[in-house]
Chains A and B, each alone.
Chain A
């Protein structure tokens, strides 16, 4: 068997020389080397024979049109694709600001209506109490009937400041207290209201 050429560079170029892919200078160098190197000339002949043998592989007919028909449709490049209209970021910012202001305003209004009414009602209740005590002299209701008892309870429960009463009211109040202390504790007087109350207690 013939010894291989020691010029590895030339041997590496032989397949490319076979396919005609070398540049002009490289092709000239290889041709010059083949003319003077028996080993590389033999190797070149071997490669040529191998290529012919391999190129003779029986390959089934390839239907180009069928393959092309099976290919996916080309996707247009981005520059050719229809673009979706894009809104300016400023519009989104403006819309967000309007929404924020509207929601914030509504929140403040709701909070004010809730807390504001609560505080006002408290004040109003106090003022109403004060006006009631000022306008209506508190009296000790006498529970002549069962239905009158809650009213009497309310009357006793609401106390006006003694200092707020004028002299006449104070005297009237003391008079009523005297009558209360003078009332018998064992048996109620035979008043219509008292009889009704006794009847209600006895269940008659």
Chain B
């Protein structure tokens, strides 16, 4: 056992969850540090501009508050993504944060990925941003979970609330659409 494993840095999620249940709060620190950035990126990709940190914290609080219900059939990351997605949708429905979020409308390229402007300088990546922005909401979400987060179709289906087959179709349709957009440009 390496030092990292012993300290929890490299320990699997299940082991860290068990240690946290036994009272080891450092295990929670490792879990948050491991998953918070990807959850925050996912929340931001859903159109949240303000309140991302709040949503991420809420997702962790809810997840840790019901770890007894976590059966381990899916990964902790998938569970966190699912909770975060639900939180974002709830906020959209309630409208409480309407002014802080950008509604993801299909084809709404100009407002979706403004955050990328300062970071993506290359022309090819700007074209890529444009192509991704042309996707439908579901296609874009599935494509990002598959390409950016490396999720399996099963995990994507759990997060988005669809079937594996539907997730696969959405991914390939998104990929074809991106290719066509890049080719047309």
Contact = CB atoms under 8 A, between A and B. Distances in A.
A114 to B, nearest CB: 60
Contacts of A62: 36-37, 40, 53, 56
A17 to B, nearest CB: 10
Interface in B94-127: 113, 115-116, 118-120, 124-125
Contact of B147 (A51, A60, A65, A76): A51
Contact of B45 (A16, A57, A61, A66): A57
Interface string A62-87: 11111110111011110010000000
Q: How large is the interface on A (under 10, 10 to 19, 20 to 34, 35 or more residues)?
A: 35 or more
A56 to B, nearest CB: 4
Contacts of B65: 71-72
A49 interface: yes
Contact of B20 (A50, A59, A66, A74): A74
A68 B29 contact: yes
Contact of B64 (A51, A61, A71, A77): A71
14 contacts: A16-B152, A46-B179, A53-B120, A55-B148, A57-B44, A58-B119, A62-B56, A64-B29, A64-B33, A67-B60, A68-B28, A74-B20, A75-B21, A76-B23
Given A54-B41, A55-B148, A58-B44, 17 more contacts: A1-B183, A15-B147, A46-B182, A50-B132, A50-B143, A53-B125, A53-B128, A54-B147, A56-B120, A58-B115, A58-B118, A59-B44, A63-B53, A71-B61, A74-B25, A76-B22, A77-B22
